């Protein structure tokens, strides 16, 4: 069983921090991921910096530019994942855009991702219909394919994407980019309940979650939460990113621990 599927069949809500690879320094990624695991994260999402990140807000765009200036490349990211894998069995998902992968070669990328220990992929600008062959090959290699749904995604589409994803769905909490505020969301509870009813696999929620109160609110209706911009903004301002990450994620993990509702059931195995 793929590592992500196994994780989301276990009890409890999952905390998933997002790190931009190679930010704030090239050597930062490994210790930040290890610190996140110690602070209570059950999975990590690592962003592959790209010059035109369509789904990302100003914080992640800024951190991506810094990472690119630091010299981050796709091969470097995969090498870093391999280094993390030597010290941790934490599920690792890479999030990025298709152009850098095309430049590397899709078959080469997938083969190296598998060898490095990558567990999942989120490619926002490659819908499952256009990337069918790529995603099928990823799943054959044991890599979970995670698709995004949004508040305007119809129920039938949510169900279809959950079937295609097989292990996990990612519910974007807002119509906007990462880092948008909670006040931008309307009808969030109704939307997440709709995802719960339509999805055949567990789902995490991301975009715009910044406080323990946000985490508690969303976790009541989801199987996990993704925190990116709020964490990166703290790292950006800190003189000790590892300590800042540890303290912030511990506070979020404590908020999640208060949520006693069991994780969502994988309906296909009910």
Tens digit of each residue's pLDDT (9 = 90 or more) over 84-113: 999 999 999 999 999 999 999 999 999 999
- 265 pLDDT higher than 90: no
Tens digit of each residue's pLDDT (9 = 90 or more) over 121-134: 999 999 999 999 99
Instruction: Report how far residue 227's alpha carbon sits from residue 31's, in angstroms, rounded to the nearest whole number.
Output: 18
Tens digit of each residue's pLDDT (9 = 90 or more) over 138-179: 999 999 999 999 999 999 999 999 999 989 999 998 765 555
Instruction: Report how far residue 212's alpha carbon sits from residue 249's, in angstroms, rounded to the nearest whole number.
Output: 10
Cβ(138)–Cβ(109) below 8 Å: no
pLDDT score for 197: 96
Catalytic residue among 27, 37, 52, 56: 56
Tens digit of each residue's pLDDT (9 = 90 or more) over 215-258: 888 888 999 999 999 999 999 999 999 999 999 999 999 888 87
pLDDT score for 84: 98
Catalytic residue among 45, 167, 200, 223: 45
pLDDT score for 179: 52
Q: Which two tokens stand for residue 58?
A: 């100003």
Cβ(148)–Cβ(170) below 8 Å: yes
Question: Phi then psi for 14, rounded to 5 degrees?
Answer: -110, 135
User: Residue 199 burial by CB count (10 A; 0-12/13-18/19+): exposed, middle or buried?
Assistant: buried
Which range has the worst mean pLDDT, 66-75, 183-192, 197-206?
183-192
For 31-100, give the secondary structure using H, E and C.
HHHHHHHHHCCCCEEEECCCCCCCCCCHHHHHHHHHHHHHCCCHHHHHHHHHHHHCCCCCCEEEECCHHH
Instruction: Report how far residue 201's alpha carbon sits from residue 113's, in angstroms, rounded to the nearest whole number.
Output: 24
Residue 121 neighbours by CB distance under 10 Å: 24
pLDDT score for 162: 95
- 264 pLDDT higher than 70: no
Q: Which two tokens stand for residue 131?
A: 């990337």
CA atoms within 13 A on the CB side of 191: 19
pLDDT band at 14 (very low <50, low <70, confident <90, very high): very high
What DSSP letter does each residue of 132-183 carry, written as one string? HHHHHHHHHTT-EE-EEE-TTS-HHHHHHHHHHHSS-EEEESSSS-TT--GG
pLDDT score for 1: 81
Instruction: Report how far residue 198's alpha carbon sits from residue 200's, in angstroms, rounded to the nearest whole number.
Output: 7
**Is 45 among the catalytic positions?**
yes
Tens digit of each residue's pLDDT (9 = 90 or more) over 24-63: 999 999 999 999 999 999 999 999 998 876 667 788 889 9
- 185 pLDDT higher than 80: no
DSSP, collapsed to helix, strand or coil, labels residue 197 as helix
**Is 125 among the catalytic positions?**
no
The model's pTM is 0.90
pLDDT score for 183: 47
Q: Which two tokens stand for residue 10?
A: 């276990």
């Amino acid at each position: 069983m793929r590592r992500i599927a196994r994780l989301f069949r276990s009890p409890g809500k999952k905390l998933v921090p997002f790190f931009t690879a190679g930010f704030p320094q090239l050597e930062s990624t490994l210790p930040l991921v290890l610190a996140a695991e110690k602070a209570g994260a059950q999975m990590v999402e690592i962003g592959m910096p790209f010059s035109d990140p369509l789904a990302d807000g100003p914080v992640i765009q800024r951190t991506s530019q810094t990472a690119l200036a630091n010299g981050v490349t796709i091969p470097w990211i995969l090498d870093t994942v391999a280094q993390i894998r030597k010290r941790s069995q934490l599920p690792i998902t890479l999030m990025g855009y298709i152009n850098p992968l095309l430049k590397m070669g899709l078959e080469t990328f997938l083969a190296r991702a598998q060898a490095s220990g990558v567990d999942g992929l989120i490619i926002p600008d490659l819908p499952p219909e256009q990337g069918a062959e790529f995603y099928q090959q990823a799943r054959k290699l044991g890599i979970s394919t995670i698709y995004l749904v949004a508040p305007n995604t119809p129920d039938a589409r949510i169900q279809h994407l959950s079937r295609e994803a097989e292990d996990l769905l990612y519910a974007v909490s807002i119509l906007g980019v990462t880092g948008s505020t909670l006040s931008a969301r309307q009808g969030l509870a109704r939307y997440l309940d709709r995802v719960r009813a339509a999805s055949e696999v567990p789902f995490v929620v991301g975009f715009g979650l910044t406080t323990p109160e946000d985490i508690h609110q969303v976790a009541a209706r989801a199987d996990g939460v993704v925190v990116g911009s709020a964490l990166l903004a703290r790292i950006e301002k800190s003189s000790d990113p590892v300590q800042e990450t540890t303290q912030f994620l511990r506070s979020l993990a404590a908020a999640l621990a208060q949520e006693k509702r069991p994780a969502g059931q994988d309906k296909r195995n009910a």
